[in-house]
Structure 1
Amino acid sequence: MQAAPWQTQGNHTAGIVLMCVGVACLSANDAVAKALTAHYSPLQILFLRNVIALPFTVLIALIMGGRPALKTHRPLAHLLRGVLWVAATMLFFTSFIYLGLAEATALIFVAPVFITVISALFLGERVHIRRWLAVFFGFLGVLVVIRPGGATFQAASLLPVATALVYALLMLSARWVDARESVWTLLVYLTGTAALISALIVPFVWVPVRIEDLWLFAAIAIFGTAGMTMMTQAFRLAPAVIVAPLDYTGLIWATLFGWLIWRENPDVTTFVGAAIIIASGAFTIFRQKAKAA
């Protein structure tokens, strides 16, 4: 029997490469966003990022999916997803003001744990004991990183955790989108609705953009769009069980960028907590895909 196109070794390799490069691009996007928070509101950064990225996103959707990629059957579902995307991005960008890049990135990786909890408690999905143990260890990892009650505890550490919760809701909300719509449709409307929603609020926090920062806003749009596009394509070329865990390479990039730009040096406890979170999330991903197989 001939293998399906996505089952070929060549496509697996391409998917792995695209995922790794895409994660690196999104990590660069986060690093630029952190740099911009020194002068601009997270909302203004989000607004300009999406406004600049929208034409490129539409172009990519047209190339990959043709005109049907611009058509939606459930605009309200996309509007809700846009609200969730704005909330998640605002929380994450705000955390950059107070936390190191690696610490914030490590905490957001608890999202798969939240997806499991929400699916079990509110969507009626049956979750076995091993996945509940993964949930337990995931939250244990969060506690190790943020160290509540300790001398180094910061309330701002809860911002990436809240980001992970909202991001989990965003991922689950994809079920509300019409099945006839492609991933490129989701990408276009996510960018477009985020630009529209943030445009309604940004006048209240707007400050003039400095000429020397224009390239940074262009960079965040390019890195963000390129990263999301490559990661989307990676899931089309290779099984999720292969490429999804590669998302955790973002912690390597976050640590590298944090050290190079801000001389951040996460302590050993942060890395221990991050390892627990990543192990929990990776196990959750593998179990979910094994169940779906």
Structure 2
Amino acid sequence: MSVVLMIIASACFGTMAALIKAVGPDLPIPEIILFRSILPLPFFLAVLFIQKKRIFASARGTMLMRAGFGFLAMSGFYYALTHIPLAESVFLGRTQPLILALLAPWILDEKPTPAVWIAIATGLLGIIFIIQPSFGWAVAAWASIGAATASAVAHLLVRKLGRTDEPETIVTNFFMVSAVLSAIWTGSSFTMPEGFQWLLLVGIALFSTFGQFLMTLAYRMDHAPVVAAASYASVIFSIAYGYIFWQEVPTYSTFAGGALIILGSIILIRSRI
């Protein structure tokens, strides 16, 4: 059941990415982040109120750092989605667990095993395959890798926050900080969405929130390596969306690089079993 839930969650995340790509050319990135942060807030605040849990995290310094890196991750990922093909941006985003393993020794004092180093090297080779032949080291491709790096740091900080605060509080505080940062970034350039844009923005918020909920539920039901392996279904959905709506066909080098990144992640997952 956990694998089914993770596949549905992956479909939600793939749909969210496609919706961001669709609305990206019409609205500024900080504005998309603003609505992505504000729309789910009432739901999470209601959950905290009903469960009588803290609204604000106790480890506020760590929380602000987590929110800051999460905001950078969203910004880079959204930029990549609007500037390079959908499949490529998602493939590069899947380097996050490999970067996580690379950063863990310095942030969490976790010593990597030989299998972890092999996984990281395999993933890095996959990045080279995707970026150099396809994009000539395009800025958007690096933005996607930067987003994966920021996301990795954010996840490590979440692990620290988990020792002092509830998951619902962490998520709610992240949306609060992201809303403030994106509002400041948007400033006077704010453009009121119109018609179909509202539907896309609501869809982004709904699919991302629902996907996050299903992913959390899946991780609670089964071993993390099994669920993590199922999460790569998001790549399939992204390729399908890219082809159907934008006639994007990944190159052979993209498929080869993506396969290496996924292989590196699978090696990493198996090393945790």
Calculate the TM-score normalised by the size of structure 1: 0.87
- The aligned amino acid for 1:124 is D
Q: How does 1:258-277 map to 2 (within 5 A)?
A: 258-277=242-261
CA separation of 1:152 and 1:50: change in aligned 2, threshold 3 A: same
Q: How does 1:69-218 map to 2 (within 5 A)?
A: 70-147=55-132, 153-177=137-161, 179-218=163-202
Q: How does 1:229-244 map to 2 (within 5 A)?
A: 229-244=213-228
1:90 Cα shift?
A: 0.5
1:263 Cα shift?
A: 1.0
1:21 Cα shift?
A: 0.9
Are 1:39 and 2:26 an aligned pair?
Answer: yes
- The aligned amino acid for 1:274 is G
Residue 40 of structure 2: SS of its match in structure 1? helix
Q: 1:228 aligns with which of 206, 212, 221?
A: 212
> For each residue in 1:41-68, what CA deviation from the matched residue of structure 2 results, as whole angstroms up to 9, or x when unmatched?
11110001111111123334556xx112
Residue 98 of structure 1: SS of its match in structure 2? coil
CA separation of 1:182 and 1:286: change in aligned 2, threshold 3 A: farther
Contact kept in structure 2, 1:74 and 1:178, CA below 8 Å: no
CA separation of 1:151 and 1:114: change in aligned 2, threshold 3 A: closer
- The 10-residue stretch of structure 1 (184-193 or 237-246) with the greater mean CA deviation from structure 2: 184-193
- In the other structure, the counterpart of 1:7 is none
- The aligned amino acid for 1:176 is K
Contact kept in structure 2, 1:56 and 1:225, CA below 8 Å: no
Give me the whole-angstrom Cα distance separating, in 2, the residues matched to 1:90 and 1:205: 17
- The aligned amino acid for 2:119 is A
Give me the whole-angstrom Cα distance separating, in 1, the residues matched to 2:135 and 2:190: 36
1:69 Cα shift?
A: 5.4
- The aligned amino acid for 2:254 is T
Residue 68 of structure 1: SS of its match in structure 2? coil
- The aligned amino acid for 2:33 is L
C-alpha RMSD of matched pairs (Å): 1.9
CA separation of 1:54 and 1:163: change in aligned 2, threshold 3 A: same
1:113 Cα shift?
A: 1.3
- In the other structure, the counterpart of 1:57 is 44
- In the other structure, the counterpart of 1:25 is 12
Calculate the TM-score normalised by the size of structure 2: 0.93
- The aligned amino acid for 1:25 is C
Give me the whole-angstrom Cα distance separating, in 1, the residues matched to 2:182 and 2:136: 33
1:122 Cα shift?
A: 4.8
Give me the whole-angstrom Cα distance separating, in 1, the residues matched to 2:61 and 2:184: 17
- In the other structure, the counterpart of 1:6 is none
- The 10-residue stretch of structure 1 (66-75 or 213-222) with the greater mean CA deviation from structure 2: 66-75
> For each residue in 1:27-46, what CA deviation from the matched residue of structure 2 results, as whole angstroms up to 9, or x when unmatched?
11111111111111111100
Contact kept in structure 2, 1:73 and 1:178, CA below 8 Å: no
Contact kept in structure 1, 2:30 and 2:183, CA below 8 Å: no
CA separation of 1:143 and 1:45: change in aligned 2, threshold 3 A: same
> For each residue in 1:83-111, what CA deviation from the matched residue of structure 2 results, as whole angstroms up to 9, or x when unmatched?
11111000011112220110000001111
Contact kept in structure 2, 1:108 and 1:161, CA below 8 Å: yes
- Structure 2 unmatched runs, 5+: none
- Structure 1 unmatched runs, 5+: 1-12
Count of matched residue positions in the alignment of Structure 1 and Structure 2? 273
CA separation of 1:108 and 1:52: change in aligned 2, threshold 3 A: same
- The aligned amino acid for 1:254 is S
Q: Percent identity over the alignment? A: 25
